[in-house]
Amino acid sequence: MSAFWIIVAIVFGTLFIFGILIISIYNQLVVLKNRAQNAFAQIDVQLKRRYDLIPNMIEVAKKYLSHEQETLTKVIEARNTAKIALESVADNNPDALNNLNKAESSLQNALKGFNITLEAYPDLKANTTMIQLNEELSSTENKVAFARQAYNDNVMGFNTYKQIFPNNFIAGFFVKFAKDLEMLEFDEKHEVLNQVPKVQF
Protein backbone atom coordinates (compact mmCIF):
# COMPACT_ATOMS: atom_id res chain seq x y z
CA MET A 1 0.00 0.00 0.00
CA SER A 2 1.41 3.33 -1.02
CA ALA A 3 1.84 6.35 1.24
CA PHE A 4 -0.83 8.17 -0.78
CA TRP A 5 -3.52 5.64 0.14
CA ILE A 6 -2.45 5.63 3.77
CA ILE A 7 -2.82 9.44 3.92
CA VAL A 8 -6.21 9.22 2.17
CA ALA A 9 -7.38 6.57 4.67
CA ILE A 10 -6.20 8.68 7.61
CA VAL A 11 -7.95 11.80 6.25
CA PHE A 12 -11.21 9.94 5.59
CA GLY A 13 -10.99 8.17 8.96
CA THR A 14 -10.47 11.50 10.73
CA LEU A 15 -13.37 13.09 8.82
CA PHE A 16 -15.58 10.12 9.65
CA ILE A 17 -14.77 10.33 13.38
CA PHE A 18 -15.28 14.11 13.33
CA GLY A 19 -18.64 13.62 11.55
CA ILE A 20 -19.75 11.10 14.17
CA LEU A 21 -18.70 13.55 16.91
CA ILE A 22 -20.72 16.38 15.32
CA ILE A 23 -23.79 14.16 14.92
CA SER A 24 -23.49 12.92 18.49
CA ILE A 25 -23.17 16.42 19.96
CA TYR A 26 -26.00 17.77 17.78
CA ASN A 27 -28.33 14.93 18.79
CA GLN A 28 -27.53 15.41 22.48
CA LEU A 29 -28.23 19.16 22.18
CA VAL A 30 -31.60 18.35 20.59
CA VAL A 31 -32.44 15.90 23.38
CA LEU A 32 -31.49 18.35 26.12
CA LYS A 33 -33.37 21.25 24.53
CA ASN A 34 -36.47 19.09 24.07
CA ARG A 35 -36.30 18.05 27.72
CA ALA A 36 -36.21 21.71 28.76
CA GLN A 37 -39.15 22.52 26.49
CA ASN A 38 -41.11 19.60 27.91
CA ALA A 39 -40.32 20.76 31.43
CA PHE A 40 -41.65 24.22 30.55
CA ALA A 41 -44.83 22.60 29.22
CA GLN A 42 -45.37 21.18 32.72
CA ILE A 43 -45.06 24.69 34.18
CA ASP A 44 -47.50 25.92 31.55
CA VAL A 45 -50.12 23.38 32.64
CA GLN A 46 -49.82 24.30 36.32
CA LEU A 47 -49.81 28.06 35.71
CA LYS A 48 -52.96 27.77 33.60
CA ARG A 49 -54.58 25.75 36.38
CA ARG A 50 -53.67 28.46 38.88
CA TYR A 51 -54.94 31.19 36.55
CA ASP A 52 -58.26 29.32 36.39
CA LEU A 53 -58.51 29.03 40.20
CA ILE A 54 -57.93 32.71 40.93
CA PRO A 55 -61.21 34.01 39.39
CA ASN A 56 -63.15 31.39 41.39
CA MET A 57 -61.53 32.62 44.60
CA ILE A 58 -62.32 36.21 43.71
CA GLU A 59 -65.97 35.35 43.05
CA VAL A 60 -66.31 33.71 46.45
CA ALA A 61 -64.52 36.63 48.12
CA LYS A 62 -66.64 39.30 46.37
CA LYS A 63 -69.62 38.43 48.56
CA TYR A 64 -67.63 39.30 51.67
CA LEU A 65 -65.33 42.01 50.33
CA SER A 66 -67.68 44.34 48.51
CA HIS A 67 -65.79 47.42 49.73
CA GLU A 68 -62.33 45.93 48.92
CA GLN A 69 -62.68 46.25 45.13
CA GLU A 70 -59.18 47.69 44.67
CA THR A 71 -57.56 44.57 46.12
CA LEU A 72 -59.74 42.28 44.03
CA THR A 73 -59.05 44.30 40.88
CA LYS A 74 -55.28 44.14 41.45
CA VAL A 75 -55.40 40.36 41.71
CA ILE A 76 -57.48 39.97 38.54
CA GLU A 77 -55.29 42.41 36.58
CA ALA A 78 -52.11 40.66 37.74
CA ARG A 79 -53.61 37.29 36.84
CA ASN A 80 -54.59 38.51 33.36
CA THR A 81 -51.14 40.02 32.77
CA ALA A 82 -49.45 36.78 33.84
CA LYS A 83 -51.74 34.72 31.60
CA ILE A 84 -50.90 36.92 28.59
CA ALA A 85 -47.18 36.68 29.43
CA LEU A 86 -47.45 32.89 29.53
CA GLU A 87 -49.14 32.88 26.13
CA SER A 88 -46.34 35.04 24.69
CA VAL A 89 -43.81 32.41 25.82
CA ALA A 90 -45.74 29.85 23.79
CA ASP A 91 -45.57 32.20 20.79
CA ASN A 92 -41.74 32.32 21.12
CA ASN A 93 -41.69 36.09 21.58
CA PRO A 94 -38.31 37.57 22.48
CA ASP A 95 -38.02 38.54 26.14
CA ALA A 96 -41.11 36.44 26.87
CA LEU A 97 -39.53 34.64 29.84
CA ASN A 98 -38.45 37.95 31.38
CA ASN A 99 -42.00 39.28 30.98
CA LEU A 100 -43.39 36.09 32.54
CA ASN A 101 -40.98 36.41 35.47
CA LYS A 102 -42.16 40.00 36.09
CA ALA A 103 -45.84 39.14 35.66
CA GLU A 104 -45.61 36.18 38.02
CA SER A 105 -43.83 38.33 40.58
CA SER A 106 -46.63 40.92 40.35
CA LEU A 107 -49.24 38.19 40.70
CA GLN A 108 -47.50 36.82 43.80
CA ASN A 109 -47.51 40.31 45.33
CA ALA A 110 -51.19 40.83 44.47
CA LEU A 111 -52.07 37.47 46.03
CA LYS A 112 -50.15 38.41 49.17
CA GLY A 113 -52.20 41.62 49.40
CA PHE A 114 -55.36 39.59 48.86
CA ASN A 115 -54.37 37.21 51.67
CA ILE A 116 -53.67 40.08 54.07
CA THR A 117 -57.10 41.55 53.28
CA LEU A 118 -58.80 38.19 53.89
CA GLU A 119 -57.30 37.94 57.38
CA ALA A 120 -59.79 40.61 58.50
CA TYR A 121 -62.79 38.47 57.43
CA PRO A 122 -63.16 35.33 59.58
CA ASP A 123 -66.45 34.36 57.92
CA LEU A 124 -64.72 34.22 54.57
CA LYS A 125 -61.80 32.23 55.98
CA ALA A 126 -64.30 29.67 57.31
CA ASN A 127 -66.24 29.39 54.02
CA THR A 128 -65.95 25.77 52.81
CA THR A 129 -65.67 26.77 49.15
CA MET A 130 -62.87 29.20 49.98
CA ILE A 131 -61.10 26.53 52.04
CA GLN A 132 -61.31 24.09 49.12
CA LEU A 133 -60.06 26.69 46.63
CA ASN A 134 -57.25 27.58 49.02
CA GLU A 135 -56.17 23.93 49.21
CA GLU A 136 -56.27 23.60 45.42
CA LEU A 137 -54.24 26.79 45.03
CA SER A 138 -51.66 25.60 47.58
CA SER A 139 -51.38 22.27 45.78
CA THR A 140 -50.98 24.04 42.46
CA GLU A 141 -48.31 26.35 43.91
CA ASN A 142 -46.38 23.26 45.02
CA LYS A 143 -46.66 21.77 41.55
CA VAL A 144 -45.54 25.05 39.94
CA ALA A 145 -42.49 25.19 42.21
CA PHE A 146 -41.62 21.56 41.45
CA ALA A 147 -42.13 22.01 37.68
CA ARG A 148 -40.11 25.24 37.72
CA GLN A 149 -37.24 23.48 39.50
CA ALA A 150 -37.35 20.64 36.96
CA TYR A 151 -37.34 23.17 34.12
CA ASN A 152 -34.40 25.07 35.61
CA ASP A 153 -32.49 21.81 36.08
CA ASN A 154 -33.06 20.91 32.42
CA VAL A 155 -32.06 24.39 31.30
CA MET A 156 -28.87 24.17 33.34
CA GLY A 157 -28.09 20.76 31.83
CA PHE A 158 -28.61 22.06 28.30
CA ASN A 159 -26.60 25.25 28.86
CA THR A 160 -23.73 23.39 30.55
CA TYR A 161 -23.53 20.75 27.82
CA LYS A 162 -23.62 23.44 25.14
CA GLN A 163 -20.87 25.50 26.78
CA ILE A 164 -18.37 22.63 27.18
CA PHE A 165 -15.58 22.32 24.61
CA PRO A 166 -15.84 21.08 21.83
CA ASN A 167 -19.63 21.28 22.11
CA ASN A 168 -19.56 25.08 22.22
CA PHE A 169 -17.64 25.15 18.95
CA ILE A 170 -20.02 22.75 17.21
CA ALA A 171 -23.19 24.36 18.68
CA GLY A 172 -22.02 27.67 17.21
CA PHE A 173 -22.70 26.34 13.71
CA PHE A 174 -26.40 25.82 14.45
CA VAL A 175 -28.64 28.87 14.85
CA LYS A 176 -31.20 27.04 17.00
CA PHE A 177 -28.54 26.48 19.66
CA ALA A 178 -27.01 29.97 19.47
CA LYS A 179 -28.58 31.30 22.67
CA ASP A 180 -28.51 29.80 26.13
CA LEU A 181 -31.94 28.96 27.52
CA GLU A 182 -33.15 31.24 30.30
CA MET A 183 -33.87 30.14 33.84
CA LEU A 184 -37.34 30.79 35.23
CA GLU A 185 -37.17 32.31 38.70
CA PHE A 186 -40.12 34.73 39.03
CA ASP A 187 -37.71 37.32 40.51
CA GLU A 188 -36.99 35.16 43.54
CA LYS A 189 -33.67 34.54 45.18
CA HIS A 190 -32.15 31.10 44.69
CA GLU A 191 -32.50 30.19 48.37
CA VAL A 192 -36.28 30.72 48.35
CA LEU A 193 -36.90 29.12 44.97
CA ASN A 194 -38.14 25.88 46.51
CA GLN A 195 -40.23 27.42 49.28
CA VAL A 196 -43.99 27.04 48.90
CA PRO A 197 -45.87 30.34 48.90
CA LYS A 198 -48.17 30.43 51.91
CA VAL A 199 -51.78 31.22 51.12
CA GLN A 200 -53.86 31.58 54.27
CA PHE A 201 -57.50 32.47 54.65
pLDDT at residue number 192: 43
Percent of the chain having pLDDT more than 90? 21
Task: Name the pTM for this structure.
Answer: 0.72
CA–CA–CA angle 12, 13, 19 (5° rounding): 85
| pLDDT 10s digits, 161-199 | 998 888 888 888 888 888 888 888 765 544 444 455 554
pLDDT at residue number 123: 75
Contact 39, 151 (CB under 8 A): yes
Distance CA 111, CA 120 (A): 15
pLDDT at residue number 113: 82
Under the banding of pLDDT at 50, 70 and 90, the label for residue 21 is: very high
| pLDDT 10s digits, 45-98 | 988 988 888 888 888 787 777 667 788 888 888 888 888 888 888 776 667 888
| pLDDT 10s digits, 130-162 | 778 878 888 888 888 888 899 999 999 999 999
Distance CA 147, CA 42 (A): 6
pLDDT at residue number 93: 67
Contact 109, 78 (CB under 8 A): yes
pLDDT at residue number 33: 92
Provide the 3-class DSSP secondary structure of residue 197: coil
φ/ψ bin of 95: left (φ > 0), alpha (ψ from -120 to 50), beta (otherwise): left
Picking from 110, 108, 129, the residue whose alpha carbon sits closest to that of residue 201 is 129
